[in-house]
Structure 1
Amino acid sequence: MKIRLILFFYFFLSQTLVFAQTIVSGTVLDEKSKPLPGVNIFIKGSFDGASSDAEGEFTFETGESGEQILVCTMMGFESQEISVQLSGAQLRLQSLILREEFNELNAVTISAGAMEASDEKKSVILRPLDIVTTPSANGDIIGAFQTLPGTSTVGNDGRLFVRGGDASEVGIYIDGLKVANSYGTTAANVPTRNRFNPNLFKGTFFSTGGYSAEYGQALSSALAMNTKDVAARSQGDLSVLSVGAGYSHTLANDKQSISLSGNILDLTPYQALVKQNFEWERAPHGWDLELAAQSKLSKGGMLKVLARTEAGGMEVWQALPGIDGKGVLVNLKNRYSYAQTNWRKAYDKGWTLFAGASFSHNKDQIRYDSAEIDRSNDLSHLKLTAVKDFSGRVSAKNGAELFVHSYAENLVRSQLSRSFEDQETYLFTEWDWYLSRKFVLRGGLRTGYSSLAEKGWLDPRASLAYQVSENGTLSLAAGRFHQLPVDNFRVLNPNLQNSQAKHLILNYLLQKDGLTFRAETFYKSYDKLVVFQGNPQSPSLLQNGGEGYAQGFDVFFRDRKSLKNTDYWITYSFVDSKRSYNQYQAQVRPDFAPKHNFSVVVKHFVSSLKSQIGASFSFNDGYAYTNPNLPGEMNSKTDAYQNLSLSWSYLPKPNLIVHAAVTNVMGADNIFGYTYTARPDETGQYGSLPIEQSAPRFIVVGVFLTLSKDKNANMLNNL
């Protein structure tokens, strides 16, 4: 009897288990309705599942019942979860669709008008270390970018000129916040440098045009530099150079770091040894202090603080045509301070928030012959942005900005002064749509209002990219850009309005196995440029009456693969630019826009010598200038500009570097234009003097020592 009862329950339970089994089957397709093999399909919380075959088909049995979650996963695609009802019968699922998953590594990137210098991004052109080891740059960020496509080398200025635009048409940002007076103040025809140490930054975004709606008030370009996060270690860095010395100390742990650095600069000993073309009464000199702090906040936030203060000056005799003797003495003193703080945090559901504030203060004391001018410029910037990733395919960035801007000039002896104050407000929005892994569309809109000009404006911008091959991308960018006139114009006529530029850019980028090829063509139109009567030193009747254009193309090739331990890049830019601006009533070629620009940079590491040897060569076909002895404006051109620079870095110990660099090795006699007498002589001819480089060449020698627990740490980023 017991045996019969046991058999009864056995067969009863067996039938019950059989009836509880559900056969799940279906087909998995991609967005183009093509079968997806190798997709993992399973019941969430169980071991029941299968993988799709070559036709996308799958079948498996499960003992689960009732409402369950079916999960479909495959690398490179977004996971999908669907609710299913299991009732012990067959369940056929028709056409499960998996969508491609997008991220910065596998999705196409817009490259029109954009060049990245970063350790983090996919489509980088240069790395931060590449920037500071360019031989001709001597550690200046701007000097390195002058070897990239779209830029022009203006040797008597030192600032960044992009595609026929003046240096004032380039907006410079640190962590998204505007930096006013980012170049050191200097006398006419004495080249300047960017104030900030390249070692501060982990990445740089350089635009040749068509830049993001996040940035504004720049007709030509945006240069956005992002500071480093928490430092990797505590260390001290000592540098001793032929033109000065500096020390930086960093304290760091896993969550926060702080760095304090100081530098002194004095070219007096150097100029006593190296021949100068200028007559210096007091060589350039100065000091700076800089503080940078970073802190990781709870739940993933990051807080950064950056502060800098500096002072400097120079006295130089500027020769004038037709006047005997040394010329006019120019005495210049400058005091500058900059401070900013910013906070960023990523939240759940795809939100990232950013808040930042910055303040720039610049004061110049200028003594030109008998004239004494004091000039001050303050800029405060507040910024809020919110980024929302709706999915891997749609992302939006929205933001608001406030600028408070003041400028003043005082004529000391005559006790005359003039000034202006302006408040500018901005709103911007920018959306990215990934229509597929190969196709992305970006649309942006920026609006602004100036209280001084009592004028508002609207700038639409758009760009797209399509991956035409495994390693090649085609990009297109277009947009409208506004910029208020420079301060010394606005203080003379506060009613001046925005100048306007429209950009159209077509770009092709190929990146493969250490090789990069970039080609770009562009057209840029200008409207409402400032024109005036008289000369730039005493302009009058300023108005927005100028216009013009810039068009051309550029190519860039970089090879880190073909030659062992060698990295090199080649750049060529063709720029056809004309504009009516400043004192020019007709459309003329600007003196800062050579038509042909060429550069080569080569770096080779010699393992046996523990040395990196570098060389760079820059060339352009000359600068336009006006010769009053000939009819017309901008009727002449200088001879071609050329500069061969060499550098050598030697590592006798891992934490010790000896570095030497020399610019213009061949001693080319580069001329940037001519100054002429105000009146002709008795023969009817205007006398002239050439505008020369400050010295036949510049030489710098330095020793860099790093003190840390890690004896392998060094200061390569400072070279």
Structure 2
Amino acid sequence: MKILLSTFFILWSTIALSQTIIEGIVFDHKGTTIPGVNIYLRGTFEGTSSEIDGSFNLVTDIEGEVIVVFQALGFKTFESPQTLKAGNIVIRPVLKETINEMTAVTISAGALEASDEKKSIVLKPVDIVTVPSAMGDVVGAFQTLPGTAAVGNDGRLFVRGGDASETAIFIDGMKVGNAFGTTAANVPTRTRFNPNLFKGSFFSTGGYSAEYGHALSSALSLNTVDMPARNQGDISILSVGAGYNQTLVGKKNSLTASANYFDLSPYQSLVRQNFDWERAPYGWDAEVSGRQKWGNSGMLKAYFHTSANGMKLWQKTSQSQGRGSLLGIDNNYHFGQLSFKQLAGESWSLYGGMSFSSNTDNFSIAGLNVRNQNQVLHGKMVAVKDFSDKFSLKTGVEHFVFSYSENLITEDLERSFVDHQPTVFAEADYYFSNKLILRSGLRTGYSALGEESWLDPRFSLAYKFQNQGQLSLAAGRYSQSAVEQLRIFNTELQNTVADHLILNYLLSTNGRTIRAEAFYKDYKNLLTFEGMPYQYENVAQQGAGFARGMDVFYRDQKSFKNTDFWLTYSYVDSKRVFAQFNTMVQPWFAPRHNGSVVVKHWIQALKSQLGLSWVINDGYTFTDPNFPGEMNAKTRSFQDLSIGWSYLPKPNLIIHLACNNVYGRENVFGYQFSPQANEAGRFESQPVGLQAPRFFLLGVFLTLSKDKNANNLNNL
């Protein structure tokens, strides 16, 4: 027995002396211990895990050169080369945090994204066509978001004290010239593009990326569908027109073509109008879009849009005799673009393209015939390099060509200009951790016409809290060429400039989103002038101003079953010296208080979605010549209650009915005063309102395909 025990202790001692004990404690970069770290010897089955206090102990008989691997979720893999021999080895590894795209903080100051590919969705693409007040217009849904002002007699985007010219629109990153249709005063316009074309959008209310320029206040970037779901045809029958869309899909390519026609004459014969129409608005458009995949990661897109429309309207003023002056408008518009994106080797990605837009307006009024032509050419190339999971760099080059001309047809007179603007930008993202990101960018350009160069620095910082909420700070300078209608009178005009400062809080979790933002904008080189359109005098840049305030947004898709709603409030204190004003005034397009409510509820038993949207502001400023001062009066509040009903009697059939300003409120946007006082010494006036108390839209949408369950919402 003694011999057996002696033999056992000798063998045990020999084994123990030949073993290696690897021990230590695992820390993160802050010095905190990490439990549950997977620890193993590469190429072997030997391993262990760290304890609750981060300590570990691994015993092995292996000798020689090995790699000790430490792995944990949320941290970079740590490798420690060791030479194993009998005895103890102490390792105290420090694991660095990895940047996870799904959980990392993102820049949210000024930005509202609408894409299923993004973690924090504020507005989905399908909202574009289901918000009742939008009436199927791409921009209509964005007018219910924070930072925007409801200017019901215009239809374009007015953001945080800025006029509509301060917002630029891009499709797949390419600039769109004249994105809104030409219209008469106080007749709201719409964007020219079919909402079914887009899969998502990026809407910035300020502080946006160095990639985007030529916008003082806002950038709206619309992204087209990559690849449609199936072959299908879509028939649209509306109360104001009709259209057809055909989509063909192959393994690596697709082609979509559409044509639409509208004419408001039949509608206006049934619904009372406040305006004196000689010819109701009418028009047509056609679109063709193609997509081609190449390789495993490349995509080429081509898109072409052409349209024509017109109207004739009698415009009566306080001094007009009879029906007033007859205004006629004929518009022709063409837009085409080619864009691509490609993943390259070694963490490179490339995208860019070229776009061209041409807009021709023919106006006739009081015997005067005017033709305006505006063309924009945009070329762009961008390269993005991910140097690590913490650092990435985006660099790009662009070239813009702006061409504008005005022609007095009868007098055979013309004035025009062409401006070339090469631009370079760079932007870097650096993740200090999953909770803290820094973005800094620089945009520089040169105007050949104005012989001006500029440098716009931009900066953003975001921090994410434990409760998933995040705080963002953004600051930067934004430059924009003078609007063509004024630049034609003084081609030496320089850029107008706005400096932005934004503080944002965003919390998006469990189907609910809370967003609060404070902002300040400082304007420089605003345009000032005297005279009237086509007769402007003393066009200069002696204006300046500011816009400051805050807005709050809340969206809830969880609290009530089958119900989605959002609430918005914006406060804007904006004053500026601009246009024909000689003192600091609150612009007519910048109401101080703006609010909106949107509710959508799905009723399964009725196969219907009911919608409601209510938009309100505290009124528009105007100048009353009966009292001293400029912009010395204000209209009563603007209010618009809209309702919508979408009914799906069959999966491939949608019937949609919408009505804005349901209770027929007589909204007033200002007053038109006579140029001379009457016998009592007062200037007479008449209100500026809408063309009709309300607008009804009825649409029937039928999809033809092998899949009887398909409809025209599939690609949204």
Judge same fold: TM > 0.5, yes or no. Answer: yes
Partner of residue 584, structure 2: 587
Partner of residue 287, structure 2: 290
Amino acid at match of 1:427: V
Partner of residue 24, structure 2: 26
SS in 2 for 1:142: helix
Partner of residue 220, structure 1: 217
Give the TM-score of the pair, scaled to structure 1. 0.95
Q: Relative to structure 1, is the Cα distance of residues 319 and 104 closer, same or farther in structure 2, using a 3 angstrom cutoff? A: farther
User: What pairs with 1:335-346 in structure 2 (closer than 5 Å)?
Assistant: 335-346=332-343
Deviation at 1:20, TM superposition (A): 7.4
User: What pairs with 1:321-400 in structure 2 (closer than 5 Å)?
Assistant: 321-400=318-397
Is residue 536–residue 583 contact of structure 1 (8 Å, CA) maintained in 2? Answer: no
Larger deviation, residues 575-584 vs 554-563: 554-563
Deviation at 1:661, TM superposition (A): 0.3
Partner of residue 237, structure 1: 234
Deviations, residues 626-670 of structure 1 (Å, cap 9, x unaligned): 111221111111111111100001111111111100000000001
User: What pairs with 1:255-654 in structure 2 (closer than 5 Å)?
Assistant: 255-536=252-533, 538-654=535-651
Deviations, residues 525-580 of structure 1 (Å, cap 9, x unaligned): 11110101223452201111000111111111111111111111111111111101
Deviation at 1:326, TM superposition (A): 1.3
Partner of residue 203, structure 1: 200
Q: Find the aligned partners of 1:80 and 1:299 in 2 and give their Cα distance.
A: 32
Aligned residue among 93, 115, 118 for 1:121: 118
Q: Find the aligned partners of 1:609 and 1:91 in 2 and give their Cα distance.
A: 74
Give the TM-score of the pair, scaled to structure 2. 0.96
Is residue 312–residue 333 contact of structure 1 (8 Å, CA) maintained in 2? Answer: yes
Q: Find the aligned partners of 1:365 and 1:64 in 2 and give their Cα distance.
A: 87
Q: Find the aligned partners of 2:706 and 2:67 in 1 and give their Cα distance.
A: 53
Q: Find the aligned partners of 2:503 and 2:653 in 1 and give their Cα distance.
A: 45
Q: Find the aligned partners of 2:150 and 2:416 in 1 and give their Cα distance.
A: 33
Larger deviation, residues 531-540 vs 628-637: 531-540
Partner of residue 43, structure 1: 41
Is residue 129–residue 717 contact of structure 1 (8 Å, CA) maintained in 2? Answer: no
Does 2:666 correspond to 1:669?
yes
Amino acid at match of 1:199: N
Partner of residue 140, structure 2: 143
Q: Relative to structure 1, is the Cα distance of residues 42 and 348 closer, same or farther in structure 2, using a 3 angstrom cutoff? A: farther
Q: Find the aligned partners of 1:89 and 1:196 in 2 and give their Cα distance.
A: 75
Q: Find the aligned partners of 1:510 and 1:571 in 2 and give their Cα distance.
A: 15
Q: Find the aligned partners of 2:16 and 2:58 in 1 and give their Cα distance.
A: 14
Q: Find the aligned partners of 1:30 and 1:375 in 2 and give their Cα distance.
A: 65
Deviation at 1:93, TM superposition (A): 4.8
Does 2:102 correspond to 1:94?
no
Deviation at 1:715, TM superposition (A): 2.1
User: What pairs with 1:159-198 in structure 2 (closer than 5 Å)?
Assistant: 159-198=156-195
Q: Find the aligned partners of 1:131 and 1:45 in 2 and give their Cα distance.
A: 55
Deviation at 1:111, TM superposition (A): 1.3
Q: Relative to structure 1, is the Cα distance of residues 362 and 28 closer, same or farther in structure 2, using a 3 angstrom cutoff? A: same
SS in 2 for 1:288: strand
Deviations, residues 103-123 of structure 1 (Å, cap 9, x unaligned): 331011221111111111112
Q: Find the aligned partners of 1:19 and 1:366 in 2 and give their Cα distance.
A: 99
Is residue 652–residue 708 contact of structure 2 (8 Å, CA) maintained in 1? Answer: yes
Q: Find the aligned partners of 1:633 and 1:595 in 2 and give their Cα distance.
A: 17
| Structure 1: gaps (5+ residues) | 1-12
SS in 2 for 1:162: coil
Q: Relative to structure 1, is the Cα distance of residues 620 and 388 closer, same or farther in structure 2, using a 3 angstrom cutoff? A: same
- Structure 1 vs Structure 2 CA RMSD: 2.0
Is residue 230–residue 296 contact of structure 1 (8 Å, CA) maintained in 2? Answer: no
Deviation at 1:390, TM superposition (A): 1.5
Amino acid at match of 2:348: W
Q: Find the aligned partners of 2:29 and 2:294 in 1 and give their Cα distance.
A: 41
SS in 1 for 2:565: strand
Deviations, residues 226-272 of structure 1 (Å, cap 9, x unaligned): 11111121111111110111111111134222211111111111111
Amino acid at match of 2:372: R
Q: Find the aligned partners of 1:92 and 1:295 in 2 and give their Cα distance.
A: 58
Aligned residue among 96, 100, 104 for 2:101: 104
Deviation at 1:25, TM superposition (A): 3.3
Deviations, residues 56-84 of structure 1 (Å, cap 9, x unaligned): 233334565544443322222222344x1
User: What pairs with 1:242-257 in structure 2 (closer than 5 Å)?
Assistant: 242-257=239-254
Q: Find the aligned partners of 1:638 and 1:230 in 2 and give their Cα distance.
A: 48
Q: Find the aligned partners of 1:93 and 1:519 in 2 and give their Cα distance.
A: 50
Aligned residue among 54, 73, 76 for 1:75: 73
Between the aligned residues of both structures, percent identity stands at 55
Is residue 198–residue 718 contact of structure 1 (8 Å, CA) maintained in 2? Answer: no
Deviation at 1:471, TM superposition (A): 2.4
Deviations, residues 191-233 of structure 1 (Å, cap 9, x unaligned): 0001111211111111111111111111111111111111121
- Paired residues, number: 707
| Structure 2: gaps (5+ residues) | 1-10
Amino acid at match of 1:647: G
Deviation at 1:703, TM superposition (A): 0.7
Amino acid at match of 1:538: Q
